[in-house]
Chains A and B, each alone.
Chain A
C-alpha cells in the first residue's frame, strides 16, 4: 500500500506533470474547446428559451354556441339614404342592399350564389365565412401556417349592436383566437373595421393574417362582369374569359406598397417587385350592372389583395383584402455543414413577431350602379375620395402647358483594369444646352429629371455635384437657368431608401433597417460592399441635409426614385417603425421638400406620394401578365389624370416602335417622355446603364420635337382634364373620354377600326371634339 502511495506521489512530481501535459497537449486543447462549446451551447439554448414566447396560462376552449347547420335569417340593422345593412346572427354574416336598385351584396355565400351542398365541409365553411384567420404555432421552431374558416371553425360567436351597425366577435376555439369585426354604414359607404386591441390570443398560437369578407360579392361566370385589381397600372379578370384560361388557375396576391416579406433581394429585384406589389390598396368587383369598390383606409400598408378567378377549386370569381396583423419573416437558417442559407429542413423558416401590429384595420366599400359600375367609375370614386381627404394634390394649374418629360442620365462609371473610369454622359451645361435647343424648336414646358448627377451615385450619396459634370458652379448655373424658365421644372434625382457600406455618413448599425429578429436587411456583392435599406428616420434626416445643401439652388426640385416604391416595417431599436409608420415618415420627407418651396417628383405610384408630388414618372403602363389577367387598364393614371402630370415607364427612345409607344401614352394620358443622354449611348456599353441602348440627344432631338408638337397640337385641351371613362371596345380599339367631353379613339391594330361611326386608321388615333374630328 505504501509503495503504491509512494508511486503515486512520485507520479505527481513537477517534471512528470509538465511532461504529461506536454504529451497530451492536443487532447487537452480539444477538451477545453469542447467545454467552451458546451458552455456556449448551454447559454445559447438558455437565451433562446428566454427569447421564446411562451404562454403560462393553460387555455381551455369554451363551449360552442354556434349551430353551423342553421341557415339563420337576415334582419336589417342599419339604413342610410343609399344602403341598408342586413345581419344574420346565426351565420355572423352581413349583406349590403343597394337601395337605388335593390341589388344585394352578399357578405357570405348562400345556396343562391353557389351550390353549397355539393362541397366538402371545409369549402362549404369557407364560402360561408365572413373572415378566415391564419396563425402560427409559437412554440414550434419552423411552424407552418394554419388557416381556419369562420363559417366552420368560429365555434363561439357573439355580437353587439353599435351605432349604424354591428360588432361581431368570432371565437376560434382551436387556437384560442378571438377577432372582433365591426360592420357599419357610413353615408354611402359600407365600413368594416378590425380593432387590433380587440384581438385576443389566449393560447400558444399567434394570429398573422385575416381574410376579410373573402366571398363578398363572389359571383359565378354567368353573372357577367369582372374583377379589378391594382396589378401594375390596373388589371382586369373578366368572368366571360374563364373558358380561355388554363386548367390550373391559381390565385394571385398583391401586397400593398411593397412585397410583404422584407427581403433585400425581393425589394431590389424588379421582377419580384412587379409581381407582388400593388401601388394602391384598392380592388373592385363588377357584377352585371352593379359594382363594388373597396379601399383599405386603416393600416392600408399592411394589406394584400387576393384575386381568385373561378376555376380554382370552386367556380366563383372572388377578390378580397387580407390584412396582416403580425409581421412574418423568412429566416435564413445557418447551417454549419453546408453554409449559409441551407438547413436540414430546406433553409427558409417562417417566424412571426412577438407582438401584433398596433394599428386598427379599416376597409371602405363603395357601391356603383349603372353607367358608373365599371373601373372608370371606380377610378372616379377613388379620385374623389382622395381629393376629399386631402390625399391627392392638384399640381396642374390652369394655363399650364402640356410638358415634355425628360430623364437625363448624367454620368456613370465603368469598371477598369486598375481604376473605375468615370463616364460623363450629360453635364450641367449640356442640360441647359438641350433645354435651350428644345425650347428654340418650340417645346414649351419640360419636366426634367437628372439622374446620377452626384459623385458617388453608385454609393448612394445624396450630395456633391460631380466635378466632371461641372461641379457646384455648373449646378448653380443650372439653377439660374431654371429660375429664368419657370415653365419648366428641373429635378435632382435622389434615392434615400437604399444605402451601402460605401455611403458616407451612414451608420451601419443605427441608420439601417432591421427585421424582427434584429438582423439588418442587407445583401452583399462580390466586392464585399454591403447594401442596406435605410431606416425611415435616417432617410428623412438625410433628405433634410440635402435640403440644407440645396440652399442657394432655389429653383431646382428634387426627384425621388424609390420613395414612392418601397415601404417596410423597421425593427431598428433606435427608431422603430411599423409599415404604416414608415409610410407616414416618407410622407413627412416629401412634405418637408415641398415645404422648402421645391417641386417634388416621384418614381413609382404608391398612393401615399400623391399628396405632395408635382410630377410622377416611371408609372407602369401594363400589368405583370399572369395567366389569370385578361386586360390592362390605366386605373392609376385615371386617378391622377388632370391633377398630376405623369410619364410612363417606357421611354420613347427605348421602345421597339415609337408609334405604339405614342398610342400608349395617348391611351394612358401620359406626357411624352424620353430618357436621354447628351453623349453617345455607345459609351454605356458594359456599364450598369446598358439598358439605355439608344439615348443620344443629337440623334433623337428631331423625333422628340416632332412628338412633342404632335401632342401639343392634339392634346393641349385635355391636359389638366380627368379621364372619366376608358373603354376597351376590342382588344385593339380603345375609347378614352375626358372630363371636358373630348373623346379619343385609339387603334393599335393593323386594320381600320370603326367605333361610334368614327373610323380610326391602323396604328393611329382620332380626337373627337363633338362634331369635328
Chain B
C-alpha cells in the first residue's frame, strides 16, 4: 500500500511524533512479521496455519456442548489436550485428534471455577480448583489422589489462597503463582518457600521517606511490591519459564534453579539507581518514544498505532527451547528463540480464522502445533507450523547445539524463502564469524543492522588488517598525527592574531573571519577570550552566533551520516531533523533568557547580545570534538563505546564550562555566586521549557478549536 499506511497515528502525538518517526511505520497491514529493536514490523512469510477450530466437545455425552469461559489448555507428553472449562466447572480431556475422551467435574467435590492445570508424565492431573482454594491431584482416570491446600507458614500470610496457574516438577514440588511470587509446595503440602521474586530496585523517594518519616507515618506508606507473575510453564530443560507484569524487563523470564532470571535482558548493567525525574521523563513523557526505539518483549503499539503495554497471559516452551507467549491486548502470539530474539509475531484481534477476541492460554504439542484458547470466543484454535518456521526453528537449534555448518545451510534455506529474514542474516553472520570470514560477517550483519555481531567481526577484522599492513598503517597514522600538529600550530598562530587584533583595534567591529577564529580560540583560552568580550561588548559581531549555530547543526547532520555504523545511536531513516536541532540548541538558546533573567535581578552586568554570543560559544567544543570524532569512529566499534563516550561527554563538559565561565566573567561574580546563579538559571530554563511546552499544547488546542469551528462553518454554508 502506498504511503498512506502512515495514517492512523493520532495527533497527540504531535509532540511525540516530532521526536520519533519510527512508530509511524507500524500500521502496515501484515499478518506475520518480526520486529527488531526499533519496533518496525518487517513482514515475513506465513508461519502458522490454522488447521482446527474446536468450539465444543463434539460427540461426547454432556448437556453443555460448548465451552464457557475456558481458562487454560495443557498438552501432555502424549499430545492429549486438557481444557480447563472454567465457566462449566469441568476439565475436558481430548485425544491428539481433538476428540473428547473424558470430562472431569471434580473427584470428591465439584470444581469451582478452576483456572489452571498441569499434567505430569504419567498423565496425573493437578487442577487449580481456584474458588475451592485448593489444588486437586487426580490420576489419569480422574480419581482423587490427594488435595493440596494453602500450606501453613509464617511467610505465607496475607491474601486468600486462590491458586490459578501451576506446574509440578519431577521432584514432586508444586510451583504456583502467588502474586509477586511463585510459591512452592512439596508433596506433603508443606510450604517450601518463594521462588523467583524480582528485585524491586532502589527508589530514591522511598529511601528519603524511610529516613525522614516517623514510625507512625511509615505505617501509612504502602509497601512497594514487585510486579505480579501472570503465568508459568515448565521447560524440557527443567527450568521454569514465566511471564509477569513487569515493565522494565523480565516480562518473560527463564528461571534457573535458584530463581534467577537468565533470559534476555534489556539492560546490560543490573539495577541502576533510579531517580524520580528520569523515571518520570522516561515513563510518562517519553514512554512511547522509549518503547519505540529499544528492544522490548512484545510490542508497545497495537495495530492502530495506539500505545499499549503488553500483558503476556500465557507462555509455552517447546522441546527445542523456543518460547512462545500470548499477548492479550492486541491478541498477538510472539515467538522468541532461546536467546530472546523474535522469530515471528502473528494472530491479532478479529473475527477471522487465526485471530482472537480474548486469548487466554497457549500450549505447544510435540509436533510443534500451537494451541490457543480464547475465553470469549470459547474456542481452541490449532496452529500448525509451516515449512518456513520449521526451518527457522531447526536453524536456531542447530546453532545453539554448536552445529554451525548445519545451521548455515538451514539459514540459507530460510533465505531462499525470505531474503529479508533478519535472524537468518544474523545467523549467517555469526557462522561466518566462527569461520573467521570477518569481512563477510560484517557485511551480512550490517544488512540487517545487527550491531553486536558486526562489532565482534569488525574488531577481529581490524586486527587482521593491522597485522597484514602494519608498516603502512603506522606510517599513515604518524603522518596524520604530524598533520594534526601542524594544523594546530598554524591555527593557533592565526587565532592568536585574531584575538589580539580584536582587543587592540578599538575602533573596528569584529569581522566574520576574525570572529570565527576568535570563537575557536575560546577552546584554548576561555577566560581570556570571554574577558575580551566583556570589555569590548559593543564591538562583537552578532553574525558569529548564527554561524556557530549553523555550523554545529551541519556538524551534527554530517556526523549522523559519517559515524561508524555500530556506534550510531539512531538509524538514518529515523532521524527527525527538527528534533535534532531542538536537541542541539535547546540548552544554549534557552540559556540566553534564563541567564539574563537570573542575572539582571541580582546585580549582573551582562546584556542580551554578549550572553547570546557566549552561549553559542558553548557549542564550539561540540563542533571541535565531533569533527575528528566522526572520522575516528570509523575505526572504532561498539566495544570501544565507553572510550568513545568519554569524548562525546567532553563536548558537554566544555559546554558547561563555557556557560559557567561566561556567567562568572560577564557579570563579575565570585565562584560561589556563580554557582548559585547557575542553579537559578537552570531552574529558569526548566520553567521556560515547561511554559513553552504548555504554550505548544494550548496553541495546538486553540488551533484545533478554530479548525473545528471553521469545519462546521464550511460544512454548513459552503
Taking CB atoms, residues of chain B closer than 8 Å to A517 are: 715
B708 engages A680 (CB within 8 Å): no
B residues 372-400 near A (Cβ < 8 Å) are 377-379, 386-389
Chain A residue contacts of B577, Cβ below 8 A:
417-418
Give Cα A624–Cα B50 distance, bound, in whole angstroms: 13
Complex interface bits, B531-574 against A, C-beta within 8 A gives 1, otherwise 0: 00000000000000000000000000100110000000000110
For the complex, is A334 an interface residue (Cβ under 8 Å from B)? yes
Chain B CB within 10 A, most for which of A265, A524, A691: A691
Report the Cα distance A510→B387, complex, angstroms.
52
Q: Is A414 in contact with B420, judged by CB distance below 8 angstroms?
A: no
Contacts of B708 in A (CB 8 A): 334-336, 339-340
One of B217-225, B246-254, B345-353 at the interface? B345-353
Shortest Cβ distance from A502 into B: residue: B3
A485 to B46, CA, bound (A): 36
Q: Digit string of B286-308 for contact with A (CB within 8 Å is 1, else 0)?
A: 00000000000000000000000
User: How distant is the Cα of A694 from the Cα of B21 in the complex, in angstroms?
Assistant: 26
Chain A contacts for B388, CB-based, 8 A: 656-657
Any chain B CB within 8 A of the CB of A48? yes
Q: Are A690 and B42 in contact (CB under 8 A)?
A: yes
Q: Which of B378, B389, B416, B705 contacts A246 (CB 8 A)?
A: B378
Q: Cα distance A680–B443 when bound, in Å?
A: 15
- Of residues 661 through 718 on chain B, the ones whose CB sits less than 8 Å from some CB of chain A are 704-705, 708-709, 711-713, 715-717
- Interface presence of B321 (CB below 8 A): no
| Residue among B2, B7, B28, B572 making CB contact with A460, cutoff 8 Å | B2
Asked if A457 is at the interface (CB within 8 A of a chain B CB), the reply is: yes
Q: In the complex, are the beta carbons of B560 and A417 less than 8 A apart?
A: yes
CB-contacts of B610-627 with A (<8 A):
none
Min Cβ gap A182→B in Å is: 37
Interface residue? B264 (CB, 8 A): no
A197 on the B face (CB < 8 A): no
CB B151 to nearest CB in A, in angstroms, measures 39
**Chain B residues, CB < 8 A from A415:** 21, 573
Nearest A-chain residue to B68, judged by Cβ? A247
Does B40 make an interface contact (CB < 8 A)? yes
Contact A657 B351, CB 8 Å, known A416-B573, A627-B55, A688-B5:
no
Q: Write out, one digit per residue, whether chain A residues 694-715 have a CB within 8 A of any chain B CB (1) or not (0).
A: 1110010000000000000000
| A245 located at the interface, meaning its Cβ lies under 8 Å from any Cβ of chain B in the complex | yes
Residue B1 lies at the interface, judged by CB distance under 8 Å to chain A: yes
A44 engages B378 (CB within 8 Å): no
Q: Which of A248, A268, A656 contacts B1 (CB 8 A)?
A: A268
Which one of A322-330, A424-432, A525-533 is at the B interface? A525-533
Please indicate the chain A residues that have their CB under 8 angstroms from the CB of B43 in the complex.
690-691, 693
What string of 1s and 0s marks CB contacts (under 8 Å) between B416-432 and chain A? 11111100000000000
Assembly CA distance A626 to B377 (angstroms): 12
- Determine if B40 and A519 form an interchain contact, defined as CB atoms under 8 angstroms apart: no
Contact size class for B?
A: 35 or more
User: Does A251 sit at the interface, judged by CB under 8 A?
Assistant: no
Q: A458-B2, A691-B43, A693-B45 are in contact. Are A414 and B573 (CB under 8 A)?
A: yes
Do the beta carbons of A657 and B387 come within 8 Å of each other? Answer: yes
Q: Does A81 contact B (CB under 8 A)?
A: no
The complex places the Cα of A328 from the Cα of B93 at a distance, in Å, of: 49
Complex interface: chain B residues within 8 A of A48 (CB): 716
A681→B419 contact, CB < 8 A = yes
**Which residues of chain A from 191 to 233 have a CB within 8 Å of any chain B CB?**
none
User: Can you name the residue of chain B whose Cβ is closest to the Cβ of A625?
Assistant: B353
Interface residues on A, range: 35 or more
A685 located at the interface, meaning its Cβ lies under 8 Å from any Cβ of chain B in the complex: yes
CB neighbors of B among A250-304 (8 A):
265, 268-271, 275
- In the complex, which of the residues A248, A417, A498, A624 contacts B575, with contact meaning CB atoms closer than 8 Å? A417
| In the bound complex, CA of A519 to CA of B1 (Å) | 24
Which residue of chain A has its CB nearest to the CB of B386?
A: A656
| Bound: A40/B4 CA distance, A | 36
- Interface positions of A from 515 to 573, Cβ below 8 Å from B: 517-519, 523-527, 529, 531
Instruction: Give the docked Cα–Cα distance between A694 and B705 (Å).
Output: 47
- Bound Cα distance A201, B65 (Å): 48
Q: Which residues of B contact A518 (CB under 8 A)?
A: 715
Distance from A17 Cβ to chain B, minimum over Cβ atoms (Å)? 33
With A656-B47, A682-B420, A696-B419 in contact, do A245 and B24 touch (Cβ < 8 Å)? no
CB distance from A353 to the nearest CB of B (A): 16
Please pick, from A271, A418, A654, the residue contacting B29 in the complex, using a CB distance under 8 A: A271
B417, B419, B448, B713 — most chain A CB neighbours (10 Å): B419
Check B641 for interface membership: any CB of A closer than 8 A.
Answer: no
With both beta carbons as reference points, the residue of chain A lying nearest to B718 in the complex is identified as A518
Complex-state Cα separation, A46 to B534, whole angstroms: 69
Q: How far is the CA of A309 from the CA of B712 in the complex (A)?
A: 44
Which B residues, 337 to 358, have Cβ-Cβ distances below 8 Å to chain A? Answer: 350-354
Which of these, B7, B351, B448, B704, contacts A626 with CB under 8 Å? B351
Question: Is A684 interfacial (CB 8 A cutoff)?
Answer: yes
Q: Does A16 contact B (CB under 8 A)?
A: no
User: Is A240's CB within 8 Å of the partner chain B?
Assistant: no
Docked CA distance A265–B21 (Å): 21
Bound Cα distance A688, B7 (Å): 13
Whether B496 sits at the interface, judged by CB under 8 Å, is no
The CA of A269 and the CA of B5, in the complex, are separated in Å by 9
Inter-chain contact B419/A246, CB cutoff 8 Å: no
Q: Please, which residues of chain A bring their CB within 8 A of the CB of B9? A: 526
CB nearest to B415 among chain A residues: A694
Contact residues in A for B420 (Cβ distance below 8 Å): 681-682, 684-685, 690, 693-694
Separation in Å of the B28 CB from the closest CB of chain A?
Answer: 7
B716 and A627 contact, CB distance less than 8 A:
no
- Please measure, in the bound complex, the distance between the C-alpha atom of A654 and the C-alpha atom of B4, giving whole angstroms: 23
**B352 engages A625 (CB within 8 Å):** yes
Q: Which residues of A contact B417 (CB under 8 A)?
A: 656, 694
Interface flag for A574 (CB, 8 Å): no
**Is A115 interfacial (CB-CB < 8 Å)?**
no
Residues of B within 8 A of A334 (CB): 708, 711-712
Task: For A248, give the chain B residue with the smallest CB separation.
Answer: B378
Q: Is B581 at the interface (CB under 8 A from chain A)?
A: no
Given contacts A518-B715, A684-B420, A693-B418, contact A527 B55 (CB under 8 A): no
The answer to whether A656 and B17 have CB atoms under 8 Å apart is no
The yes or no answer to A686 lying at the interface (CB within 8 A) is: yes
Query: Are A243 and B56 neighbours in the complex by a CB distance under 8 Å?
Result: yes
Contact partners of A524 in chain B: CB under 8 A: 7
In the assembled complex, the Cα of A696 lies from the Cα of B43 at a distance in Å of 16
Given contacts A417-B557, A686-B40, contact A523 B7 (CB under 8 A): yes
Q: Which of B17, B354, B420, B448 has the most CB of A within 10 A?
A: B420
A585 to chain B, nearest CB (A): 23
Q: A44-B716, A458-B2 are in contact. Are A270 and B711 (CB under 8 A)?
A: no
A693/B66 in contact, CB under 8 A = no
Cβ 8 A contact of A627, one of B21, B53, B709: B53
CB of A27 within 8 Å of the partner chain: no
B44 contacts across to A, CB distance below 8 A: 693
Which A residues lie within 8 Å of B713 (CB)? 40, 44
A336 to B702, CA, bound (A): 10
B window 13-32: CB within 8 A of A:
17, 21, 24-25, 28-30
Tell me if B274 is interfacial: C-beta within 8 Å of chain A: no
Please state if B704 and A246 are interface contacts (CB–CB under 8 Å).
no
Chain A residues near B712: list those with CB within 8 A.
Answer: 44, 334
Chain A positions within 8 Å of B419 at CB level: 680-682, 693-696, 699
> Quick one: closest A residue to B420, CB to CB?
A693
Closest-CB distance, A512 to chain B (whole angstroms): 15
Beyond the given pairs A529-B3, A693-B44, 8 more chain A to chain B contacts, judged by CB atoms under 8 angstroms and listed by A's residue number, are A40-B713, A47-B716, A334-B712, A340-B704, A654-B45, A656-B386, A681-B419, A691-B30
In the A-B complex, the 5 residue pairs with the smallest Cβ-Cβ separation, listed nearest first, are: A625-B353, A625-B352, A247-B66, A656-B45, A656-B388
The 12 sampled A-B contact pairs (Cβ below 8 Å) are A243-B58, A244-B55, A246-B378, A246-B379, A247-B378, A336-B705, A414-B573, A624-B352, A656-B45, A682-B419, A682-B420, A694-B418
